[in-house]
Amino acid sequence: MKVICLLVILTSFVALGAVEFQDSFFLGVTQSKLSGDFPDEVDGIRFGILNGVQFGYTLLGQFENNFSLGLITRYIEKGWMTEDDSDLYTVKNNYFELALRAGYIMPKLNYIGLHPYSGLGMGFFLNSEQPVKAHQNQHMSFIVGIDVNLWEKFVIDFNYNIGLTDIYDGIDAKYNVFGVSLGKKF
């Protein structure tokens, strides 16, 4: 099914008249935190930020008017932690994500190009380092970000994922994730 989705997207890029394609592999770090209808502290337990990693592949189709459409596939760690006066508990979940993004490629200044974008992503739950019974199998997020292109070979990506759907059954909890990654263009 994922291969069919990828082929449909690639065919759409060509049908819409993409004049140039670029792809890159990336590796980076993330910081994730839960958001929802609960306070930052409950009964002396504080909810905190969890660090993780991400790596993946981006395919970008550029059109004549500098508009771009792209597909991101990535492995990403998301999670949360709680702590009280005596204990620290972390939950780290692993996801495979597919995201569609649209953006504008700004004119280059010397060897640096900026590429703001936004899009929608779907995360598919792979596994967890801790047993979590109420976990959803998938969730959606809204993505905003900017790529900084360096010397036509590298890209630094800054992105923020805003959770749109709950990650646990019956609990209003969404992931908000900030990520930074370094990519190599091919």
Domain membership of residue 178 (yes or no) is no
pLDDT in tens, 73-127: 899 988 877 765 556 677 788 889 888 888 988 877 667 788 899 998 888 888 8
Q: Which residue has the higher pLDDT, 152 or 142?
A: 142
Position 2 scores a pLDDT of: 55
Domain membership of residue 161 (yes or no) is yes
Domain membership of residue 41 (yes or no) is yes
Please give the Cα distance from 164 to 151 (Å, whole number): 35
- What CATH number does the domain containing 154 carry? 2.40.160
Domain membership of residue 35 (yes or no) is yes
Q: Which residue has the higher pLDDT, 133 or 161?
A: 161
| Closest listed residue to residue 13, CA positions, set 89, 74, 67 | 67
| Mean pLDDT over each residue of the chain, to the nearest integer | 78
Q: Is the pLDDT of residue 139 over 70?
A: yes
Please give the Cα distance from 35 to 47 (Å, whole number): 10
Position 100 scores a pLDDT of: 87
Domain membership of residue 12 (yes or no) is yes
pLDDT in tens, 51-68: 888 999 888 888 877 888
Q: Domain range spanning residue 102? A: 2-167
Domain membership of residue 83 (yes or no) is yes
Domain count of the chain? Answer: 1
Q: How confident is the model at residue 135 (pLDDT cuts 50, 70, 90)?
A: low
Domain membership of residue 183 (yes or no) is no
Domain membership of residue 177 (yes or no) is no
Give the pair of three-digit tokens for residue 184. Answer: 């190599």
Please give the Cα distance from 94 to 88 (Å, whole number): 20
Q: Which residue has the higher pLDDT, 59 or 47?
A: 59
Position 108 scores a pLDDT of: 74
